[in-house]
Amino acid sequence: MKNVLIIGGGIVGLSTAYFLNKEGFAVTVIDKGDITSGASFVNAGYITPSHIIPLASPGMISKGIKMMFNSASPFYMKPRLDADFLKWSWYFHKSSTPAKVEKAIPLIKDINLISRELFTDIKNSGDLGDFQLERKGLLMLYKTEASYLHEKQVAERVAFEGLEVSDLNKTELHQLEPNVNIDAEGAIHYECDGHTTPTEIMPKLMAYLKQQGVVIRTNEEVLDIKSSGSSIKEVVTNKGSYKPEEVVLAAGSWSGELAKKLQLKLPLQGGKGYRINIERDTGITIPAILMESKIAATPMNGFTRFAGTMEFSGLNDIIRKERVTAIANGAQAFYPDIKINDTEIKNVKTGLRPVSPDGLPYIGKSSNIINLTIATGHAMMGWSLGPATGKLVSELLTDNKTSMNIAAFSPNRTF
């Protein structure tokens, strides 16, 4: 029985532990936090086959430059003289071409569909007990014709890829969401999408893994990774050391820094997202993205979550009040009767999503280090792609045929 050390206890790390444990590996997960916060806990909970367009798409860099000096904007890049950030920005720019987006679309769709089925399989297995997993779709709510026409193009491509999507006018939207006042002209409804409550699944997944004998060590930070020749020999932490046969690097936004300890280049930036929870009835029953506000609204188990923004400002958990206010105002612009109060605003949380320069995740074995597998860089789809990534890593480590061709996700790719 091979022993595997997984660095990182987010949805990707724990999903990897889940599938490796099923294959009979002896698994240890270490995380520098206590696995109660971060991107896996503050995300919108979406399972989104419809999100086929990568973040690195034409026009995104010019949008970023325009928004660079407005720290309340939905897409914010803090100007800074940081070599890694400048390199990443250049790679992002090079990746934002129509041809590269076209290549990425079927890959993003396929891995999302694999993950959607795996979420269902995990629920049906009863391993985690009961948890929210609904397929009500995702509403793209719009106020302007420009937003509608932009999303209609995406919807046509989504339909071309064989996914279920429909176009709703104001009346049809009201019929679908009769218990909440929505100030929108209509919606594109991606019926193919689902949603969950991350704060419900994460503790249940952790409890199940412990029960199965997976060792989970929290508040343990990796200080060094020692290699000899082409393999990792020892992982040194602030609490001890490990001599694993296989290492999976799934440390989210911190994966790039850890890769440097092995002289590996893994271009990655942390994109900060914010969430506000409302623990009272809002009348919202279907997840929605408020297009002009660039905010996600999700009806979760026991609360409604408003989440959003992509902020590139380094690896920190600084909360920018102007960004929180923008989410509260953006939510009210679409749901005029929902007033987010001061207490709800004060309880805001953030998480850092690991963003690769081309919008595709890094999933694969390192070409330099034979016992290292990398699983990170999922940007805004980390939650959606967690189970699929875990399954793919388990297939790589058991030398089985992978569920899809993952050559494009190679961590050894150049930009």
For the cut 80, the answer to whether the pLDDT of residue 66 exceeds it is no
Integer angstrom CA distances of residue 101 from 57, 58, 225, 267: 6, 8, 35, 18
If one compares 65 and 381, the residue with the highest pLDDT of the two is 381
Burial of 135 (0-12, 13-18, 19+ CB in 10 A): middle
β-bridge partners, 196: 133
Q: Are 205 and 345 in contact (CB under 8 A)?
A: no
pTM of this prediction? 0.96
Integer angstrom CA distances of residue 59 from 56, 66, 147, 185, 353: 9, 11, 15, 25, 21
Tens digit of pLDDT for each residue in 225-262? Answer: 999 989 999 999 999 999 999 999 999 999 999 999 99
The predicted model gives 54-67 an average pLDDT of: 73
- Residues of the chain with pLDDT > 70, as a percent, come to 98
DSSP 3-state of 133: strand
Say what the pLDDT of residue 60 is. Answer: 72
For the cut 80, the answer to whether the pLDDT of residue 75 exceeds it is no
For the cut 70, the answer to whether the pLDDT of residue 61 exceeds it is no
235-258: burial string, b at 16+ Cβ within 10 Å, e else: bebeeeebebebbbbbbbbbbbeb
The predicted model gives 288-301 an average pLDDT of: 96
d(CA 123, CA 135): 13
All structural domains of the chain, each given as residue ranges with its CATH number in brackets, are 3-409 (3.50.50.60)
Q: Are 274 and 324 in contact (CB under 8 A)?
A: yes
Tens digit of pLDDT for each residue in 135-192? Answer: 999 999 999 999 999 999 999 999 999 999 999 999 999 999 999 999 999 999 999 9
> Roughly how many angstroms between the first and final C-alpha of the chain, as a whole number?
37
